[in-house]
Amino acid sequence: MPSPEADVQTATITSVPAARFRAAMGAAATGVTVVATDGPSGRFAQTVSAMCSVSEAPPSLLVCVNQRSPMNEAIQAHGSFAVSVLGRQHDHVADTFAGRPWPGKEKWDFTCGEWERTASGAPRLADAVASFDCELHTVLTVGTHHVYVGAIRDVTAAGGTPLVYSGRRYARPETFPPSTFPDFPGSGPVHHQQRRTTR
């Protein structure tokens, strides 16, 4: 069973005021996910925006969870977790598991959505845009957060419009034509794709 390792430090970190750091990070757009686990230690879930792919071979991802979350002990005890990628219709789910429930709900209340049990036993949101069932691979501790690397054992990809968070607000992606540069004919993703398909 993986256990938290010592704080990772590969370089001297210059102190930046927390308010400036939060303001800068607020300009970044991130997807919104719910990380959940279940087992002898109980069922827990937390809204997490810090989730990304680590490797395609073998497939793995990472999520960052604040050390204050009661879910940490359960993830480490159970050795598994599931990540549900939320859709635009799931803002109430995101708020519930971020500790900001809508009227009539409690914090971290699983009745805010329909859940399915994955092969590992961790719950996934039934109508998630996508989901990843993970076996816990590595735990790192960096500052205020634990970083969990999960080896992906199963995935779902139902599709839909993912929920985005930026500037302390929820949003959704908007498609637009790719940039073109008249001074560089033949550039751009469309031309690159055409060259690949004609080879």
Give tens-digit pLDDT for 52-94.
999 999 999 999 999 999 999 999 999 999 999 999 999 999 9
The tokens of 142 are what?
A: 């960096």
pLDDT above 80: residue 44: yes
Residue showing tokens 């990772």:
8
Predicted pLDDT of residue 160: 93
Predicted pLDDT of residue 38: 97
Contacts of 194 (CB under 8 A, 6+ apart): none
Predicted pLDDT of residue 198: 46
The mean pLDDT value for 97-121 works out to 92
Residue 112 exposed, middle or buried by CB count within 10 Å (0-12, 13-18, 19+): buried
User: Which pTM was predicted?
Assistant: 0.84
Distance CA 83, CA 54 (A): 14
pLDDT above 70: residue 193: no
Rounded CA Rg of the chain: 19
Of residues 106 and 63, more confidence is placed in 63
67-97 exposure pattern, b = at least 16 Cβ within 10 A, e = fewer:
eebebbebbbebbbbbbbbbbbebeebbbbb
